[in-house]
Amino acid sequence: MIRVLVWNEYKHEQSSEAVAKIYPRGIHNAIADFLRCDDIEVRTATLYDENMEISDPTCGITKEILDRTDVLIWWGHMAHKFVPEEVACLVRDAVLSGMGFIALHSAHHSKPFRYLLGTSCHLCWRESGDSERLWVIEPSHPITRGIDRCFFLEPEETYGEPFSIPTPDRLLLIGNYSGGEVFRSGCLYCRGNGKIFYFQPGHETFPTFYVPEVQTIIRNAVRFVAPTYRETITCPHVRNINDPEGYVIVK
Amino acid sequence: MIRVLVWNEYKHEQSSEAVAKIYPRGIHNAIADFLRCDDIEVRTATLYDENMEISDPTCGITKEILDRTDVLIWWGHMAHKFVPEEVACLVRDAVLSGMGFIALHSAHHSKPFRYLLGTSCHLCWRESGDSERLWVIEPSHPITRGIDRCFFLEPEETYGEPFSIPTPDRLLLIGNYSGGEVFRSGCLYCRGNGKIFYFQPGHETFPTFYVPEVQTIIRNAVRFVAPTYRETITCPHVRNINDPEGYVIVK
Amino acid sequence: MIRVLVWNEYKHEQSSEAVAKIYPRGIHNAIADFLRCDDIEVRTATLYDENMEISDPTCGITKEILDRTDVLIWWGHMAHKFVPEEVACLVRDAVLSGMGFIALHSAHHSKPFRYLLGTSCHLCWRESGDSERLWVIEPSHPITRGIDRCFFLEPEETYGEPFSIPTPDRLLLIGNYSGGEVFRSGCLYCRGNGKIFYFQPGHETFPTFYVPEVQTIIRNAVRFVAPTYRETITCPHVRNINDPEGYVIVK
Amino acid sequence: MIRVLVWNEYKHEQSSEAVAKIYPRGIHNAIADFLRCDDIEVRTATLYDENMEISDPTCGITKEILDRTDVLIWWGHMAHKFVPEEVACLVRDAVLSGMGFIALHSAHHSKPFRYLLGTSCHLCWRESGDSERLWVIEPSHPITRGIDRCFFLEPEETYGEPFSIPTPDRLLLIGNYSGGEVFRSGCLYCRGNGKIFYFQPGHETFPTFYVPEVQTIIRNAVRFVAPTYRETITCPHVRNINDPEGYVIVK
């Protein structure tokens, strides 16, 4: 059983009527709904509670919760700064220990994603009702399984290059937009013991998370980034390989 | 002219007589001395001043200084935590804008290096008088120019795998130690507009920075990571490519 | 069930008494013996038959056989040139379609491996009774599962850097030798739809394939490179995405 | 002085009146004309001579010629198969020794390019008068220097993903087409001691090589892939590092 935690700001859905119509129970529940299945169990956590308050200073993320999470999915947009440093570092360290991490859409600017990649993760952007077509670059990768040569999103917010990220370990999808831009829309990284997948679709004002291909890719990604090995990385003092007392001392 | 800034903690040289004998004017000056030449000018900055005080809260690093620096060389070991967050972030951002960065030895744990790479940068280590042999993996790379198949350091602190870093863009050198371990000793990264080189030798209790091959590699690296392009990366709001008003608005 | 084909030159075992003592039924059978288990079935093929003749001009490799093979393991040393071009290209194309490929030891110079990587795959070498210690670089990778920090081979043929290969997608193991050298001993590549693992141990005059860690790594690698997707890659003439007649025409 | 050799099939220009109008002296001369400058000298070679015969079985490429070439630019389309195996291997080996190689447009299917990369280099394609927009992914790379966010080609042959190549060391440009597709249009590789740049524009029926941005990128690429180190890679028998007779024996 893969234990997924879907984290969402949960702000736009409560402050904008248009967004609320698309995602009445929040983006986190829309994602949870299509993910739940025989081998995937899903919980959710949000920054804002149902009174639009940040009542829980941990944003629903503690070390204990992350220890019981195989894959953390992150959606955030306008409130990245309200995620405490300690929480962002807990997430980063859990990923380095092996937890899978999926950053969706504007989570390119979230603290955990930026801290894990090290770059600004800036990009070009435009909200203008462009449509997007996403093309599969690696048809044999498990994350693109079941996807045709390309699929269509009408509309989606435009994200354009240059996207300031480290060269992905694997580039799986490239999107192009009716207004001109191209974007590396599906990027896979290994960091420490963990796997990270960035997936560009998912603007809050569009019903993107109801699109079958988007759901397929996120479900595939959950299975792909789920850990097979998880261990906190340390910086051990080691003895000479031939030392009779044994060679590793973890300080 | 390449403008190098050598940054050093400058702690061990003042607190340990043994280290002071090897580097009487500090590791920063030892590096500056062999680097200075027709195309390289060098300044230095230190965390501790000559009274073993942290008198300058910026550690000698301000935005203005970084703007006039092409390559920043970093040596730190025991006092990483005294480098203020803002200074670490200034360095990170300067590298992402294009400044070259060379992290030496225990700077694997320095804030700027860890923030740029995103991982823990943990490793295995041992101080036991091992000798090290460093092998050239990429003989055609400009950074290994002038180096034979391998060279020898007697002694050097042992650093061992697993070294928890992202897969280097290029792995240039691998070291092995008389006590058993191997280590990815020369690692090159591109991040944003900048280039980063990690080079493992340089423990404070050994005269490593007087070894000709070590000097050659650091000098080569300075020339290789020096920027040819430098620009702050932004996250611009862009118009449709066909918009008659022009397509980029930097917000 | 993963269908493995172990291919072996089967020359040294028949021409050298010393080798025959170690691998009386050939290296291919030694490998087959430890691989066979509930989820792995194994066949073998050899260049030389039991009369030391190349009686089968296909070396036991046809398109039909490869179509029924999930993972091909290759051991060859002195007779690379007797593998026909067409057979080498069949193997290359099967890997590009998705078949897993594991090249052992001196198969670094085999035609299929060189054709898939594109470089000379030259290295430095020495037969001198050195021992080797192999270090795990990526402890969380499925191929190194079950292996401690390092393991020991006494003796093994020395292979040294520079190893003229493309930068591996993942470097999993580094070996070092008592005579000095280091070597990238476990290298993983994706090419087309297929995965390729190069593993350095396995000189014919040593009982390397009886070492538990070597067996574990090869077994892990079989499971890791086994295809989840297999399809011949073509170069299709495609129509405009909006063409009412449909957009792909495979010529 | 960088010594460039531009190699061209020179077939379409002699068999099609439309192509001849665009490139009356052949694509090779169009490229040579814009490349020649203070630091670049250019020679040309062609498969077909001016009588549309393959009069020179070497296609103008010998070991001696390659030894005097710093960068080889390759344009081919319909006659890849007439390039002899030995010539293709000479080119491959020269690149592995350090010669720079630039493959233009349909040279994705040329023997030297395929042999160097190891994959099929298949892609999707369409000749339909689409326009293309090429976007800069890495604005700080020397090859994209002087290029704005994107540039326009009207028309250009459509090349689409999946493009069956190894993951590029650096992806510099992505193109998108009015008919829908996206393509990794600027791909950089290191192989052996050499650098390889693939650049997608340049269909024979369009005046692509007169476009200033195309010329800038090819000129930048020539300077970037020009070797700083060139040496034939061998497979030397080496002695123990401590052997008093010295440690390398090239066999």
Residue D249: the pLDDT is: 84
The end-to-end CA distance of chain D, in Å, is: 34
The 10s digit of each residue's pLDDT in C166-210 is 999 999 999 999 999 999 999 999 999 999 999 999 999 999 999
Please check whether residue A212 touches B, CB under 8 A.
no
B135–C182 C-beta distance less than 8 A: yes
Chain D residue at shortest CA distance from B97:
D140
D133–A180 C-beta distance less than 8 A: yes
Average pLDDT over residues A215-238: 96
Which whole-number Å values give the CA distances from C95 to A82, B241, C90, C202, D123, in the listed order? 49, 42, 9, 22, 18
Residue A198: the pLDDT is: 98
Q: What is d(CA C200, CA C106) in angstroms, rounded to the nearest whole number? A: 8
pLDDT at D251 over 70: no
Average pLDDT over residues D138-145: 98
Answer yes or no: are the C-beta atoms of B60 and B68 closer than 8 Å. Answer: no
Please check whether residue C148 touches B, CB under 8 A.
no
Mean pLDDT of chain B: 96
Q: What is d(CA D41, CA D69) in angstroms, rounded to the nearest whole number? A: 10
Please check whether residue A100 touches C, CB under 8 A.
no
pLDDT at C56 over 70: yes
* Chain D nearest C-alpha distance from C159 (Å): 9
* Chain A nearest C-alpha distance from C224 (Å): 12
Q: Residue D139 is nearest to which of A162, A174, A182, comparing CB atoms?
A: A162
pTM score, two decimals? 0.98
The 10s digit of each residue's pLDDT in D142-155 is 999 999 999 999 99
For A149, how many CA atoms within 13 A lie in the half-sphere containing its CB?
19
The 10s digit of each residue's pLDDT in C202-244 is 999 999 999 999 999 999 999 999 999 999 999 999 999 888 8
Average pLDDT over residues C43-56: 96
Give A137's contacts in chain D (Cβ within 8 Å).
Answer: 161-163, 184
pLDDT at A251 over 70: no
Which residues in chain B show pLDDT less than 70?
251
Taking the CB of residue A235, how many other CB atoms lie within 10 A of it? 15
Confidence of residue C251 (pLDDT cuts 50, 70, 90): low
Please check whether residue D79 touches A, CB under 8 A.
no
Nearby residues of D1 by Cβ (< 8 Å), 6 or more positions away: D39, D40, D41
Nearest to D4 by CA among D30, D31, D41, D39: D41
The burial class, CB within 10 Å (0-12 / 13-18 / 19+), for A185 is buried
Q: Which helix (H) or strand (E) holds D224?
A: helix D212-225
C139–A228 C-beta distance less than 8 A: no
pLDDT at A128 over 90: no
Radius of gyration of chain A (CA): 19
Give C176's contacts in chain B (Cβ within 8 Å).
Answer: 176, 180, 182
Average pLDDT over residues A144-168: 97
3-class SS at B219? helix
Give A180's contacts in chain B (Cβ within 8 Å).
Answer: 240-242, 247
- The ipTM estimated for the assembled molecules is 0.96
Please check whether residue A39 touches D, CB under 8 A.
no
Please check whether residue C223 touches A, CB under 8 A.
no
Chain A residue at shortest CA distance from B165:
A192
What letter does residue C103 receive in the DSSP assignment? E
Which whole-number Å values give the CA distances from A178 to B97, C241, D83, in the listed order? 30, 13, 41
